[in-house]
Structure 1
Amino acid sequence: MKKNVDFFVYGATILCPSCVNMPSSKDTEEWLRAAIGRKFPDQLFSVTYIDIYSPPEDDIHLNMAHQIIEEDLFYPVVVVDNEILTEGQPRLKKVYRYMEDNGYTPVSRKKENVI
């Protein structure tokens, strides 16, 4: 049975010191949404950006933002089911595997023979 997967991309508008030359957390959120949408078209999921310095006023997001700041994690941090899935630049293989493990069906891309 497939469950709706909700990803949260935690980060900040200012790049972390170790993340120079990497996309911003907000850019990563947009990129991740597009990549998942291409791999799992017409299947419901969500990707939401959360600023660690001004998170929504609920315990889950406040606690995760506090953990990211206190533990000096590399952001963006991708969280799903209140667990950190990736830290720093996300690896799509890990994200895709999580989706498949939760009942999502990937689209296989067939290479066309060009003559």
Structure 2
Amino acid sequence: MTDSIKLTQLELVLLQLVAKGEGKWGWYELANALSRRDVPREPDMMVVLKKMAADGLVKEYVQSGSPRDRWELTPAGASILSPNSNMLLRELIVDKPMNDRSPTRDLLEEIGDRT
């Protein structure tokens, strides 16, 4: 991962949700989980997922015999969520400052607790 990668709060939360789905969640499950988070909804989730796929952070695949998509983290995406990248995450969030109730702050604290 390079220092030039910048993530928005939405991208970071989507990475967390893709990780939680462990490669089993499709757009429906991701959208459902995202609807319970207090994060910006613009741009559209699928636009963000496709951008993150182009950036090499997530991968979309379709199981044979099924029209459903599935999303999984790539090694680059997983490295962003690893406990060792805690300080780097603080530099990646660019869309707005964190407030006391920010889901991104919760994520950073959760990651910090694992170190």
TM-score (norm 1): 0.29
Which has the larger helix fraction?
2
Whichever structure has more strand as a proportion of its residues is 1
Larger Rg: 1
